[in-house]
Structure 1
Amino acid sequence: MAYKYDVIPIVHEELPLLKYFNIPNQIIGDRWKMSNNSKCVQLKAGFYYNCSREFDSLGNITMDGYLQSWRYFEHAKETIKMIFKFRGNCESKVRKYLESISKEGYQRVCIHVRRKDRDNKHMIKVGYNVAEKDFFERARNFYVSKFSKVQFIVVTDYKMWCRRNLKDVDISPFNDVGDDLALMSMCDHAIITGGTFGWFGAWLSGGTVLYFKGYPRPGSWLDLQTNRNDYYPPYWIGIS
């Protein structure tokens, strides 16, 4: 947004992302308390909100919300990916792991499986649908048909389920979310099942992205909080 409106973006020194990313323009302590400040608030997680009215002012702007729409980033995505580089210790750890499982001439596809906190009747009713084994088989077949030589690497919050249901895959050995996000970003392509982590991991990775069309569950409360045209980039491919 700062790129679009030609202003200076700043982040507070306590932003959790700074553990993993060396983001510039950090503000320390009380200097964070800005005067002449207004907010651009994204009330629904999966909707794009046009902040042009707020940015027309001469004051300071605070962005607030999930900002989970490709429309916020598309015009500046190369700049953002250049800035959002992982810190050295995180990147080197992931590169070392990828080298240890490397297969020459293979395309790396990261499968993000979010399931553990959502595999119950209440969460599914609300709209947090989970993808089942058949979805992953169809998604894998897509990449094998497209590239022939494909290595699948799994990032998940439910390793036990993945070991039981996904065969011929490498499952991330990491327990830190930053390492797993870096792993997603360093793969060539991504398969995602739903959720903020998978969305941003796929966006950072680039390549061909397949997503679970059943998320959010059509007609659910979460579906009403989501505009699919805003949420999923038009060049991502949805399958059920």
Structure 2
Amino acid sequence: MILIRLKGGLGNQMFQYAYASILAKKCNLPLKIDTQFFSLSKDMVGVTQREFELTVFKNRYQIATLNEINSFTELSFYNKIKRKLGFNYPKKHNEGSRLYQDEDYKLKAPVYVNGYFQSYKYFLGYEEFVKKIFHFSTDDLDAKNISLLSRIEEANTISIHVRRGDYVTDLNINNTHGLCDIEYYMASIDVLTKDNANSTLVFFSDDSDWVKKTFSHLSNPKIFVNHNTGSHSWKDMLLMSKCSHNIIANSSFSWWAAWLNSNSEKKVVAPKQWFADQSRNTFDLIPKEWIQI
């Protein structure tokens, strides 16, 4: 058995589940998930409360029982003897680095894995497998989003994700993540509109009033998307992935929207500095063909 501890928002959960799904496939073993974080996060200081969000995809998830989790975290006397004698036993593997590690795919089951696994390199050779896992069904869209999807697909569109929310209001989160500034977005827009000055800019943000005020001077056709909130937020990821090109924030949410974008001619712009806390930065997160600013 492969067991993965899920944490964070939808984008983070997707990184973790994709990595663990590939590991389970390699080992030809069932995958189970530990969802305890989502109940525990309610009482965690400095942690944004999250919910298990992967149900937006039509996968069959096996939730680990407390006994199954404890079999890794609290070894039985029998498994302690196996460990002492050098035999295989239920192990707990914590991600050792924010960089891609070959060792993360050489683990011997049964194993309980914990980490973020935020690197495109984990998916190399398994791109179609991962895209199948994270396939959005447009059948679940309401009339407003169906109409918006048609507008997005009929024009040359650039999705622009401006994440503010807890990146602004929570000092600890701001010190860790930081914000993509206006200069980043303007430079990114300049790069992607160079060959098509009339591209439609599709803004996605949790602070639409700020975005409208900040970018109102731009002459391009503009669409501001702010109606998909709460349990409907995943619809923004779907819509972003259907745009011609993407400008992402330092957010795993829009990273996935860009990665899932199936346009063979897509251009993606990403921030060169992902974290304000530079000790957390990774060089393995952004695919080489994306433009970094």
Contact persistence 1:107–1:151 (CA under 8 A): yes
Q: Higher relative CO (CA 8 A, sep ≥ 6), structure 1 or 2?
A: 1
Contact persistence 2:273–2:281 (CA under 8 A): no
In 1, the alpha carbon distance for the partners of 2:273 and 2:34 equals: 38
Contact persistence 2:168–2:174 (CA under 8 A): no
User: What corresponds to 2:132 in structure 1?
Assistant: 82
Higher-Rg member (1/2) = 2
User: What corresponds to 2:275 in structure 1?
Assistant: 216
> Are 2:152 and 1:97 equivalent residues in the alignment?
no
Q: Summarize deviations over 1:102-143 as a string: whole Å, max 9, x none.
A: 574x22221111123223794587342312223222211211
In the TM superposition, residue 81 of structure 1 has moved relative to its aligned partner by: 0.7
Give the structure-2-normalised TM-score.
Answer: 0.66
Contact persistence 2:167–2:174 (CA under 8 A): no
> Are 2:108 and 1:61 equivalent residues in the alignment?
no
In the TM superposition, residue 160 of structure 1 has moved relative to its aligned partner by: 1.6
User: What corresponds to 1:37 in structure 2?
Assistant: 90
> 3-state SS of the aligned residue for 1:109?
strand
Pairing partner for 1:226 from 252, 268, 281: 281
> 3-state SS of the aligned residue for 1:75?
coil
- Taking only aligned residues, the RMSD between alpha carbons, in angstroms, comes to 3.2
Contact persistence 1:3–1:76 (CA under 8 A): no
Task: Tell me: CA distance 1:52–1:18, structure 2 relative to 1, closer, same or farther (3 Å).
Answer: closer
Structure 2: 5+ residue stretches without partners: 1-21, 36-50, 72-88
> Are 2:163 and 1:114 equivalent residues in the alignment?
yes
In the TM superposition, residue 163 of structure 1 has moved relative to its aligned partner by: 1.2
Q: Summarize deviations over 1:15-65 as a string: whole Å, max 9, x none.
A: 8233210124x3256498276532332255x4223335752x2x3233322
Count of aligned residue pairs for this structure pair: 228
In 2, the alpha carbon distance for the partners of 1:177 and 1:109 equals: 19
Contact persistence 2:56–2:234 (CA under 8 A): yes
User: What corresponds to 1:170 in structure 2?
Assistant: 223
Task: Tell me: CA distance 1:215–1:120, structure 2 relative to 1, closer, same or farther (3 Å).
Answer: farther
Contact persistence 2:269–2:290 (CA under 8 A): yes
In 1, the alpha carbon distance for the partners of 2:146 and 2:255 equals: 21
User: What corresponds to 1:203 in structure 2?
Assistant: 259
More moved, 156-165 vs 131-140? 131-140
Contact persistence 1:153–1:171 (CA under 8 A): yes
Contact persistence 1:184–1:201 (CA under 8 A): yes
In 2, the alpha carbon distance for the partners of 1:142 and 1:226 equals: 24
In 1, the alpha carbon distance for the partners of 2:273 and 2:33 equals: 36
User: What corresponds to 1:142 in structure 2?
Assistant: 191
Task: Tell me: CA distance 1:238–1:110, structure 2 relative to 1, closer, same or farther (3 Å).
Answer: same
> Are 2:113 and 1:48 equivalent residues in the alignment?
no
The residue identity in structure 2 corresponding to 1:51 is E
Q: Summarize deviations over 1:149-170 as a string: whole Å, max 9, x none.
A: 4222112121121111123421
